[in-house]
Structure formats: structure tokens, C-alpha cells
Amino acid sequence: MEKIYLDHASAMPIDPRVLEFTSKYLKGLGNPSSLHSVGLEAKRAIEGAKGKVADLINAESERTIIFTSCATESNNLGIKGTALRNAGKGKKVVTSAIEHMSVLNPMKELQKNGFELTIVPVDSNGMVDLEELESALTKNTTVTSIMYANNEIGTVEPIKEIGELVHEKGLYLHVDGTAAAGHIPIDVQKDGIDLLTLSSNDLYGPQGAGALYVKPGVVLQPVLPGGGQERGLRSGTENLFSIAGMGEAARIAKNEMEKESGRMLKIRDELIEKILEIEESHLTGHPKKRLPHHASFRFSRIEGESILLNMDTTYGIQVATGSACSSKTLEPSHVLLAIGLKHEEAHGSMVLTLGRSNTPEQVPTIVNGVKETVQRLREISPL
């Protein structure tokens, strides 16, 4: 049985080209903060990686990139580091109801520490309600955090318009670009983004690296103070293997994005068309404004966990349900509840995220697996 991997949203394989590029850094080049020759070579590797990440998002220079250990840390730094450092200008923060937990939870931590927090709702397609956003923004709003695209339902938010609203009244726009980067173009300058979170592993890079773009002039404080690496904003000896890998992954993503996204879009549309032939099946997220590699569904009367397990054991097809982070709690996804689904509707979700290994030839196998799985689970369902 050919294994088909359709869970590229949170744990992608490393691109073999990335691995080849960065494997030399597993040999131990030394500490980039050291002055001896191996230390200097390590430092140059980090600067090179920053240049490549900056290129992917059209940042002003490689100096705008701060490497962290993952997207969760970048979100924490971008949100808490900025809100706390700018607390003198106001103690209000704003976000949306469908953000990743690594945005929502830092926001709630700020709220516990005396910040006012407004969580803006989204419509049934997962689009942020711009009127509600506008009315939430005040002159005291120092940080607004809205994701570029949602990892569970694929919806792409109107970041440019959001940036304009934020900058009219507020101070800084933080954007979680984890799900979008490498799939659709992000231009921090045109999009009006002040802080942007990126994840190595979501770009076919190694785990262990994330990045935070910080627009020149934006001031923030570290979440992990220490030896003062990364301009004092992220201490700890740099994870050279993952950082150099993230840089190379960003370079490849930039080069191949247009072609790959076009290729995946066709597979995605065929999957959506054929899977929606199943009775009582629904697309979740926006039908048009969605990530090119992302197809997400819900099926009535069955459980997402059962879909996932049956697809895996019977068909060798790895899919996701809800967010990986909430998978283990078995609670319905907060994203699906936020787009207006009832608890029982939110439970029957399946998320397919395409990657470089997927081909159009896999579509019939996938569609057949989904159809038979849904049918079988409905037969044994007590609902």
C-alpha cells in the first residue's frame, strides 16, 4: 500500500535539498558568539539564512529577522514582547477568534496581567469581521494580531486592509504567517505588517527554528532574556542546523512557490469537487480565498478522530482533524466553533494539506478512501 501524506500543516518532512544543504552544520561548527574561526563561520551561516528569510517576505534587510525556536515562540515574542515594551502607550490588544493557540494564549496571559483584550469574530467562511475589528481598535491598542491564513480552514485574511485599519488607529500589526508562508506571496512592506511569525517546519525546513520579522523602528523586549543573542531579543546559543535549514527552505519556497502552488491548486480543486459529492459533506473555510494546498471538510454524523484513524490504518493516508494542538484534547476546534458550527458539526472535520510529494495521480485513491471511510463510519455510527 502506497503511503500518502496529507498532513502538511504542522509536521512536514524536510525537503531533501534542505537536508543536504544544512547537514554540514550537524558536524558542530562552533558557537556563533565565539570569535574563533569556526564561530565566525557559524555567524556567517546565520546571516545568510536571515537574508534568505528576508527575501521570502520582501523584508527591508536581513537585520529585520530574529530567529527563535519555533512559531509558538515567535508568536509569544511578537505579541508579549511588543505589548509589554509598549505598555506605556496603551494596554489594549486585539486578535481574532480563529488564531492559533500560540496567539490566543499569550493574549490571554496579557489580559491576566491587566491588558484589555478584544477577540474579534469571523464570518462563516472564517473571514475576520472588518467592522468589528475597526470598532475594537482604539488609540490605546498597541498590538493587533491577525493570522495571514488559517491552518485549519485555509481561509486567507485581507491583511492589507487590516493593516490599514490598524495603522489608522493602533500601533503595531502582528501577523502569524505560519500557515501561509511559502504557499502564497507575503510582502511585509506592501501588506503593512510590523511583525510576522514564520516557522521553519512549515516551509519544509527542520524543526527547531522559527523567525520573527520586526519592521525597522518597532521596539519590543525579549521573552527569553539571557546572553543577548539576536540583538538581545532572543538569547540562547543559536541552533545552527535548523536556522541554516530554515534559510535554505525559504530560498527554495520563494523560487518554487508560484509553480508549486499552481500545481497544488489543481489537485486541491479536484479533491474538493469529488469529496463534496459525498452526502452531507461540507467545505470549511472560504471557497475562493483559501490556501492553494488546503482542503478542509466536515461530515455530519461522524467523528474526525475516527476518519483520521480509519484513513490511516485502512488506506495508509495520513490526514488531520482540527488543529494538531487540540487533537489530543478531543475538544472541538475553537476555529470551527468560531465560524458558527455547533459542537456536533465541529467534531466531524477532516483537513487535507497538500505537499511536494502529492501528485494528481493520488486523487482517485484519496477520494475513494474518504468516500469508503465516511460510508463505513456512518454505518456504525450511533447518531
DSSP character for 143?
E
Stretch that binds a second copy, among 149-157, 187-195, 327-335, 342-350 (CB under 8 A): 327-335
CA 212, CA 78: separation in Å to the nearest integer? 7
Q: Amino acid identity of 78?
A: G
Question: Are the C-beta atoms of residues 77 and 68 closer than 8 Å to each other?
Answer: yes
Nearer to a second copy, 30 or 121 (CB): 30
Q: Does the protein bind a second copy through residue 223 (CB under 8 A)? A: yes
Stretch that binds a second copy, among 67-75, 123-131, 143-151, 337-345 (CB under 8 A): 67-75
Nearer to a second copy, 127 or 195 (CB): 195
Q: Does the protein bind a second copy through residue 350 (CB under 8 A)? A: no
The label of the residue with cell 456504525 reads 380
Q: Does the protein bind a second copy through residue 42 (CB under 8 A)? A: yes
Cell, residue 153: 480552514
Nearer to a second copy, 103 or 137 (CB): 103
Tell the smallest beta-carbon distance from residue 320 to a second copy (Å).
Answer: 7
DSSP sequence for 220-272: ---SS-SS-TGGGTS-S---HHHHHHHHHHHHHHHHHHHHHHHHHHHHHHHHH
- 70 as an active site residue: the answer is no
Tell the smallest beta-carbon distance from residue 127 to a second copy (Å).
Answer: 23
3-state helix, strand, coil in the chain (%, to 5): 45, 15, 40
Cell, residue 295: 482542503
| Member of 114, 328, 361, 382 binding a second copy (CB under 8 A) | 328
Q: Determine the size of the site formed for a second copy (CB under 8 A).
A: 72
CA 374, CA 67: separation in Å to the nearest integer? 42
Catalytic residue selected from 325, 326, 327, 340 = 325
Contact code string over 110-139 relative to a second copy, x by CB under 8 A? ------------------------------
Tell the smallest beta-carbon distance from residue 134 to a second copy (Å).
Answer: 28
Cell, residue 132: 468589528
Q: Does the protein bind a second copy through residue 2 (CB under 8 A)? A: no
Stretch that binds a second copy, among 37-45, 131-139, 212-220, 288-296 (CB under 8 A): 37-45
Site for a second copy in 80-109 (CB under 8 A): 100-102, 105-106, 108-109
Site for a second copy in 244-283 (CB under 8 A): none
Contact code string over 301-320 relative to a second copy, x by CB under 8 A? ----x--xx-xxx----xxx
Tell the smallest beta-carbon distance from residue 377 to a second copy (Å).
Answer: 15
DSSP sequence for 261-304: HHHHHHHHHHHHHHHTTSTTEEE-S-SSSB-TTEEEEEETTS-H
Question: Are the C-beta atoms of residues 98 and 334 closer than 8 Å to each other?
Answer: yes
CA 355, CA 358: separation in Å to the nearest integer? 6
Q: Does the protein bind a second copy through residue 37 (CB under 8 A)? A: yes
Tell the smallest beta-carbon distance from residue 192 to a second copy (Å).
Answer: 25
Q: How many CA atoms lie within 13 A of 160 on its CB side?
A: 6
Tell the smallest beta-carbon distance from residue 135 to a second copy (Å).
Answer: 27
Q: Does the protein bind a second copy through residue 78 (CB under 8 A)? A: no
**For residue 99, is it left (φ>0), alpha (ψ between -120 and 50) or beta?**
beta
Catalytic residues: 325
